[in-house]
Amino acid sequence: MDDGQRPRARIRPGGPAPLLLQTVHEHRPETGAVSLLRARGTVDASNAGEFSEALAEHITQADRAGEHPVLDMTELYLACAAAVRAVDRATGVLAFSGRALPVVQPRPHVREALRASGLPGVRAHATMTSALTSLRDPVATERRADPRPGGTVR
């Protein structure tokens, strides 16, 4: 019987988790300088613009510093279409130049939303190792990751 209430498993006490962003700069022997943006919390309509601006700034700063930008979405929840559009806006400059932002460990629903939207400036990776490997040889990594026989690299 439906009483109009949301199922208990979907109710989050106190509302969505606040958006927290942290930048970490690392030097990896296999890839060189890496700028990692760790995102945590929820991106929804109320903060999608803020997230898009922060991600775009992260990419710009990494490019200026000669670093590879990487986004860690291990603890991030995209709550609406505006959140996916925020990622698209922020990665547009990369897509325009034929590059893609490695995104590490998006949750299954986030990975599916990114895949379904076909964002050209984003490449999801299950592990940090996979993301860093893609920085060394992005074309070969994308070909290996393409599960379709004879699939084309986008």
- Tens-binned pLDDT, residue by residue, of the chain (154 aa): 444 444 444 445 566 789 999 999 999 888 899 999 999 999 999 999 999 999 999 999 999 999 999 999 999 988 888 999 999 999 999 999 999 999 998 888 888 888 888 999 999 999 998 999 988 865 444 444 444 333 333 3
Distance (Å, whole) CA 137 – CA 102: 12
Two tokens, residue 84: 């996916």
pLDDT tens-place string over residues 46-77: 999 999 999 999 999 999 999 999 999 999 98
Distance (Å, whole) CA 148 – CA 103: 21
Place of tokens 């000669």: 66
Place of tokens 């490449």: 123
Distance from chain centroid for Cα 27: 21
Which domains are seen in the chain, by residue range?
18-143 (3.30.750.24)
Distance (Å, whole) CA 48 – CA 46: 6
